[in-house]
Amino acid sequence: MADASNSNKENFLYPISKYRGEFTPEQLAFNANLQEFAQRVSLICGLETGGKISSDDAYHQIKNLWKDLKESKKTLLDQSRPEPPDLPEDEES
């Protein structure tokens, strides 16, 4: 019973949307990183709004998350991908 409760809590706090774009492993990984970035920024904003962290601290945390996301994009999406190999055509018998 506790596992179902924890699962529901995790899904509520950290929702994950299905990826609907052009599928490549790189696109999927970047989408996961982007969703995590958005969730963390939302959490940081809530902490700052609630007075739990300072505005400067929130700014620096978001700035570091942004740098990580930019690096993720550079690593996953900005690399040139090799052309797929030419495969022989199927022969019909």
Measured in whole angstroms, the distance separating CA 60 from the mean position of its chain's CA atoms is 19
58-78 average pLDDT score: 96
pLDDT at 14: 66
pTM of the model: 0.71
Query: What is the identity of the amino acid at 86?
Result: D
pLDDT at 4: 74
What pLDDT digit, counting tens, does each position of 6-26 carry? Answer: 777 777 666 677 778 788 999
> What's the mean pLDDT when you consider all of the chain?
86
Taking the CA atoms of the chain, what radius of gyration do you get in angstroms? 20
Locate the domains of the chain by residue range.
22-76
What is the number of alpha carbons within 13 Å of residue 11 lying toward its C-beta? 7
Would you tell me how many other CB atoms lie within 10 Å of the CB of residue 73? 14
